[in-house]
Amino acid sequence: MTTQSNKGLAVVTGASAGIGAIYADRLARRGYDLLLVARNGERLQALADRLAHETGRQVEAFKADLVRKDDLARLEARLREDARITMLVNNAGIGSVASILQADVETMDAMIQLNITALTRLTHAVAPAFVARGTGTIVNISSVVGVAVEMLNGVYSASKSYVLSFGHALQKDLADKGVRVQTVLPGATATEFWDVAGYAAQKTSSTTMSAADLVDAALAGLDQGEHVTIPGLQDVGDWTRWEEDRRAMSAKFNNAKPSARYGLATNAA
């Protein structure tokens, strides 16, 4: 099958399997050419060849370990220089279920480099060109643990909280410049994430969503103009109310004096 429309070039990181591979499939069938990024070059190339054959799109495999500064710099340069790029899906990430006392600090540092640093730098690489053209889409994959921070490893949860906060700031900075920003918060999803994280049993839990359902829902949310998409949250009003309360409380932070509950003399002045 050949898709006739051409929506430009979509870049998908962490594309060799799981959520990233499903994004690659769906975007190719929507009319995007693809630049697929992952560490596993053999598996990545096999996916690229299959999608090119099935969809007729141009699909390029870009082997890179985004924890490595030289690999990350190569991809940043490509993103800055390729005017065909119209979408970036920041999907690459690693996680853990280990507590802070059990986790290896070097592993946690690598998690920060991939989940936060690489995502930030790649976003920065495409944003100026998107703004200059007045169009472009950035999709950042966060997680529900970015809100429910006590559920898994603290560094992983904190990294996903960063992605959510970063998305809010991007939406504020870029919304009036024609750039769409979507933050996706998957819950437990049946991917190799759980094998790497050391809890493979989660893949077959009754509360675990398939990667295909997750991506299809996320793309539907993008089509509907959602800024934050949480496929597993059944009542979107729960999120809307939580966000309204957060923003309302934010307006109450700016006070020159501490609260009276601290009993400081300054409150009597």
Please report the pLDDT score of residue 269 as a whole number: 52
Please report the pLDDT score of residue 206 as a whole number: 74
| Intervals of the chain under pLDDT 50 | none
Residue 3 lies in a domain: no
Cβ neighbours of 54 (radius 10 Å): 15
Residue 214 lies in a domain: yes
Q: What are phi and psi of 252, to 5 degrees?
A: -100, 5
Please report the pLDDT score of residue 32 as a whole number: 98
pLDDT digits (tens, 9 = 90+) for 154-165: 898 999 999 999
pLDDT digits (tens, 9 = 90+) for 174-203: 989 999 999 999 998 888 666 666 666 666
pLDDT digits (tens, 9 = 90+) for 101-126: 887 889 999 999 999 999 999 999 99
Please report the pLDDT score of residue 101 as a whole number: 81
What does the alpha-carbon distance between residue 263 and residue 194 come to, in Å, rounded to a whole number? 48
Residue 2 lies in a domain: no
What does the alpha-carbon distance between residue 160 and residue 169 come to, in Å, rounded to a whole number? 14
Query: Which residue out of 23, 156, 162, 262 is catalytically annotated?
Result: 156
Residue 169 lies in a domain: yes
Please report the pLDDT score of residue 95 as a whole number: 77
Residue 130 lies in a domain: yes
User: How many domains, the chain?
Assistant: 1
Residue 248 lies in a domain: no
Residue 55 lies in a domain: yes
Please report the pLDDT score of residue 93 as a whole number: 93
* 178 DSSP β-pair partners: none
Does the annotation mark 162 as catalytic?
no
What range does the domain containing 81 cover? 9-236
> Which residues 6+ apart lie within 8 Å of 246 measured at CB?
none
The enclosing domain of 84 has a CATH number of 3.40.50.720
Residue 145 lies in a domain: yes
